[in-house]
Each structure stands twice: as C-alpha cells, then as structure tokens.
C-alpha cells in the first residue's frame, strides 16, 4: 500500500472515530436531558403516587444509562453490542428489521428526507492531513 493511501486510511479512521465519539457524547447528553425531564415531571405528580414512582424509576434508569454511555469509549460500546448480538442473534435480527422498517418509513416522508441526509450521513474529508 502506498504512503498516500495509508495516510488517507488513517485520516478516515481518525475522522470516523471523532464523529462516533461526538455522536456518543450527544446521545449521552440527550439521555441525561430525558432523565432530567422525568425528574421534573415526577415532582408535579404528588397526587398520582404510582405514576410518580414510575417517573422517578425511569429517571434513575435513564440517568444510569447516560452515565454509562458517557464513561465508555466507542470501542467498548461496539464490543458490547457485538457480544449482545452473539448471545441473542434472533433478537438482534428482529431489532434490525424493526429499525430498518422504521427508517424506511421515515425516509419515505418527503418533509424528512433532507433532514435525514444532513443528520445521518457525516461529511468525511478523504484528503490526507499534512504531516506535522
């Protein structure tokens, strides 16, 4: 492999890693925001103790998920997903089919097509970075 091809490969790997880390951090922040929303909601449910308890439990669970997501690297998350798929391949296939069907449904909606293209497909620069 040429030196230039190796540089392009390393550049792409670095960009993909940076993008994945950025998206992971955004997901952790979004999960923490959902946990906060559950906490705030539960404070206004004094007359409904079982709903309040459910919101508080959801807040704890989502908060724990956000913390776990923030503390793990992209590689650790990828390995955990791979292990889960190997343990339960049927469930993984069903989840993939369901996610694919949902994405297909959303992608067919004209008002969301542009949004999906901007948000899902990262802009990756394939030019090699100059050596420092």
The DSSP string of 50-87 is HHHHHHHHHHHHHHHHHHHHHHS-HHHHHHHHHHHHHH
Q: What is the pLDDT of residue 132?
A: 47
The shares of helix, strand and coil residues in the chain, as percent rounded to the nearest 5, are: 85, 0, 15
CA atoms of 84 and 72, how far apart (whole Å) = 16
CA atoms of 76 and 68, how far apart (whole Å) = 11
Q: What is the pLDDT of residue 73?
A: 92
Q: What is the pLDDT of residue 131?
A: 55
Q: What is the pLDDT of residue 6?
A: 84
Where the chain has pLDDT below 70, the residues are: 1, 111-132
Q: What is the pLDDT of residue 106?
A: 72
């Amino acid at each position: 492999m040429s030196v230039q091809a190796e540089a392009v490969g390393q550049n792409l790997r670095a960009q993909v890693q940076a993008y994945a880390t950025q998206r992971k951090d955004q997901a952790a922040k979004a999960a923490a925001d959902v946990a906060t929303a559950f906490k705030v909601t539960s404070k206004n449910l004094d007359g409904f103790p079982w709903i309040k308890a459910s919101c508080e439990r959801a807040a704890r669970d989502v908060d724990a998920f956000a913390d776990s997501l923030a503390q793990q690297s992209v590689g650790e998350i990828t390995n955990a997903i791979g292990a889960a798929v190997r343990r339960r391949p049927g469930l993984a296939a069903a989840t993939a089919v369901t996610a694919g069907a949902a994405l297909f449904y959303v992608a067919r909606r004209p008002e969301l097509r542009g949004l999906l293209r901007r948000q899902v497909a990262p802009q990756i620069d394939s030019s090699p970075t100059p050596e420092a």
